[in-house]
Amino acid sequence: MRFDMKECIRRTKHGQPLTKAQITGLVRGVTAKNPAEAIPDYQLSAWLMAVCLRGLTDDETAVLTAAMRDSGQTMHWEMLGGPVCDKHSTGGVGDKTTLILAPIAAACGVYMPKMSGRGLGHTGGTIDKLESIPGLTTALEPDAFLSLVQRAGFAVAMQTGDLAPADKVLYALRDVTETVDSIPLICASIMSKKLATGADHILLDVKVGSGAFMKNDADAAELSRLMLTAAKADGRDCTAVLTDMDRPLGMYIGNALEVQEAIAVLRSGGDPELREFCIDMAAELLAMAGKGTYEACRSQAAEAVASGRALEHLRMMIEGQHGDPRVTEDLSLLPSARCSRVFCADRSGWVTGMDSEQIGRASVLLGAGRMQKKDPIDPGAGIVLAAKYGSAVQAGDPLMTLYADTEAMLDAAEHSLRTAVTVSETAPPAQPLIRAKYSGRELT
């Protein structure tokens, strides 16, 4: 009997839950090669909009996530013989956490076979950042990937089309039908890929604020709850940390620029707030993987940075992925932009706002991200902040330096940044980067 997609659209439109068979049939139709079984884009789009407007129940979301996970290859890591961890950010500006956390975790004895993506909209992607390292490839054959994880403790590959392929189709439709911002759909999209990647311990960095998909804490908490439920249903250990994206993370935004900042942190320099954040996140993951109490894991993570062992793991990974490992010693080997311009404060006071969405969009205008899917990116482009949330500044002090290939790009970004930084007469309250933490182990 032919799959009744109209019935699925009708039920979701009226807020009536779909059965498990309906959801699995729908996901099968998303990737079906046979035209008689494939569900056309217009029906999928109608259903996605119905989900956006009416939502899904927790059970429907869990079934959708599992069906999307099973739409392609699932990975297994028993051969590593040790704890296998993963970390996922829901997307932010200046978020180079993976480049710092993964070598720390590897240096502390856990494995991180990491599948990552490219930048999306105004948010950056780990693959674009790593590919700014001369020679580095993220298209690794499975054997090479495994052997590098065994040697270096981690490797970072581009997510292949075989992993949760239903998400690839649905995500592309959501992108052009204004249906990205649905919490159940975001949960299914992220968790289908995470579960297919096969880690035992998953740390979710749920960004919240102006530069994130989740603009407020209530939505971020709801997304966390759903993702933790999906992980638990699949027998995975998962923690979600809500982290601030009302301001960029760290001081550098852009691909080679973020690699620079990550290396600086692993050399015990860089932005102290970013360094402490990455050590906190690494400690969280190590504690989940059974490496000790949170405090003991924090000390291990801090020692891995202070001793240079984490930097050595980054160097091994870069070399294993055919990049120039000398960048870990000599940052001038990374690509840089041809033009730069300093952007200054027009009044004195305290920085009380750093709109990360506007700053992310400006970095795209500078060439650090893509306006359209096929656009090339400029690895050297981006922004280096000279002041951050809470800094005291005088009129005329530098707030940031913009880097791009042309003066026209600097003009466009400078124009778009006019309202990105708020300078006020009084100092703002301290704003911790970690806003909340939820553990899947506490779900009832």
Which residues carry out catalysis? 88, 167, 174, 189, 193
Binding mask 354-383 for ligand URA (x = CB under 6 A): ------------------------------
165: contact with ligand URA by CB under 6 A: no
Give least dist CB 246 to ligand URA, A.
18
Give least dist CB 410 to ligand URA, A.
30
User: Which lies closer to ligand URA via its Cβ, residue 53 or residue 408?
Assistant: 53
What CA–CA distance (Å, rounded) separates 437 from 391? 27
Cβ–Cβ under 8 Å, residues 100 and 108: no
What CA–CA distance (Å, rounded) separates 206 from 208? 6
What CA–CA distance (Å, rounded) separates 112 from 156? 8
- Neighbouring CB atoms inside 10 A of 120's CB total 15
The distance of Cα 302 from the centroid of its chain, to the nearest Å, equals 23
In the block, residue with structure tokens 């960048």: 327
Tokens encoding 50: 């119905």
285: contact with ligand URA by CB under 6 A: no
What CA–CA distance (Å, rounded) separates 379 from 364? 11
Among 45, 61, 71, 90, interactor with ligand URA by CB under 6 A: 90
Q: Where are the beta strands (DSSP E) in 250-335?
A: 252-253
Binding mask 262-281 for ligand URA (x = CB under 6 A): --------------------
Phi-psi region of 111 (alpha: psi -120 to 50; beta: other; left: phi over 0): beta
Cβ–Cβ under 8 Å, residues 391 and 407: no
What CA–CA distance (Å, rounded) separates 44 from 410? 40
Q: Where are the beta strands (DSSP E) in 289-329?
A: none
User: Which lies closer to ligand URA via its Cβ, residue 71 or residue 391?
Assistant: 71
206: contact with ligand URA by CB under 6 A: no
Give least dist CB 17 to ligand URA, A.
21
User: Which lies closer to ligand URA via its Cβ, residue 44 or residue 417?
Assistant: 44
Binding mask 180-199 for ligand URA (x = CB under 6 A): x-----x--xx---------
Helix/strand/coil for 353? strand
Q: Where are the beta strands (DSSP E) in 21-162?
A: 85-89, 112-116, 154-158
Name the residue with the smallest CB distance to ligand URA: 189
Strands 252-253 and 382-385: antiparallel
* Identity of the amino acid at 303: E
User: Which lies closer to ligand URA via its Cβ, residue 164 or residue 314?
Assistant: 164
Count the site residues for ligand URA by CB under 6 A: 7
49: contact with ligand URA by CB under 6 A: no
In degrees to the nearest 10, what's the CA dihedral of 226, 167, 363, 130? 100
91: contact with ligand URA by CB under 6 A: yes
Give least dist CB 186 to ligand URA, A.
4
User: Which lies closer to ligand URA via its Cβ, residue 213 or residue 343?
Assistant: 213
Give least dist CB 395 to ligand URA, A.
39
Give least dist CB 135 to ligand URA, A.
28
Give least dist CB 44 to ligand URA, A.
15
What CA–CA distance (Å, rounded) separates 90 from 121? 12
Reported as type and span, the H/E element at residue 8 is helix 5-13
User: Which lies closer to ligand URA via its Cβ, residue 91 or residue 254?
Assistant: 91
> Is the CA virtual torsion 206, 210, 211, 213 positive or negative?
positive
What CA–CA distance (Å, rounded) separates 157 from 141? 9
User: Which lies closer to ligand URA via its Cβ, residue 110 or residue 190?
Assistant: 190
Give least dist CB 304 to ligand URA, A.
29
User: Which lies closer to ligand URA via its Cβ, residue 179 or residue 391?
Assistant: 179
Residues that bind ligand URA (CB under 6 A): 90-91, 180, 186, 189-190, 213
